[in-house]
Amino acid sequence: MMIEDNEISYGTDGSVGTVILQTDTLSISGITALTDVLRSPGCEVLVLTSSGPDFCRGRSPGSRPTSAEQARREVLDPIIGLYRAFGDASCTVVSAVTGQCLGLGFALALSADVVVCEPGASFSLPERRAGFPPLLAMSQLSGIIPAAALTHLALSAEPITARDLAAMGAVAVLAPAEDLPAVVEQRAAHLAEQGSVSRQTVEFTRRQLTAQRRENFDVARQVLGEVLGSPTGG
């Protein structure tokens, strides 16, 4: 299976698939393409990585929605669909993270079942600077990052390093940037060899997060629809 898109590329090598983010931001089209891969991965293990120095700097700015319903339908629902696709994926997902991860990129990186980062990789939730709270990313990150720390990140918009996230238990593996590809390849191969054991393990972990996220997404969708669809919205 091969996918070539302006924003992502995807291919498989045996039981391991690789999605490469080709741009440093994702449009709604790119978000939908990534969702489609997660829903039908065709592999045991899916590696999510980037072609550039930064993993993902968030969502590409698009045209401003003119109503709350348009904001929900055209912006929020595709993002929620992507986040849910991580939880429903039939494969184990590994993220290989370097550089900056902002907003959506922060949530994407930590949505993987196994997160492998260079220690200095930087994560932040800068949405408040655009005039709205990062409720979707917070919904996805809840249960991964402790509530007090997540609230601080959302209110301050300050960055946090992968090293600090690892200390919280939110990042599984730290590896120098030059070693990251080899470490990820080794991890992916090991997980693929484990087959159903890997899948059953991550499905159990995901199940603990799904119910809380579903309720949070409903609240975030309602609030952000009004904010983004207003004349002065973000």
- What mean pLDDT do residues 208-222 have? 90
- What mean pLDDT do residues 206-219 have? 89
Does the pLDDT at position 172 exceed 70? yes
End-to-end CA distance of the chain: 38
**CA angle, corner 35, sides to 77 and 42, nearest 5?**
155
CB atoms within 10 A of CB 175: 18
Phi/psi for 9 (5° steps) reads -130, 150
Q: What is the largest CA-CA distance in the chain?
A: 53
- Tens-place pLDDT, residues 114-139: 999 999 999 999 999 999 999 999 99
SS3 76: helix
What are the strands, taking DSSP E only, across 68-186?
92-97, 100-102, 114-117, 122-124, 160-161, 173-174
- What mean pLDDT do residues 147-175 have? 98
The answer to whether the predicted template modeling score (pTM) of the entire model surpasses 0.85 is yes
Q: For residues 121 and 127, what is the distance between their CA atoms, to the nearest angstrom?
A: 19
Q: Where are the domains of the chain?
A: 3-229
What would the CATH number be for the domain defined by 3-229? 3.90.226.10
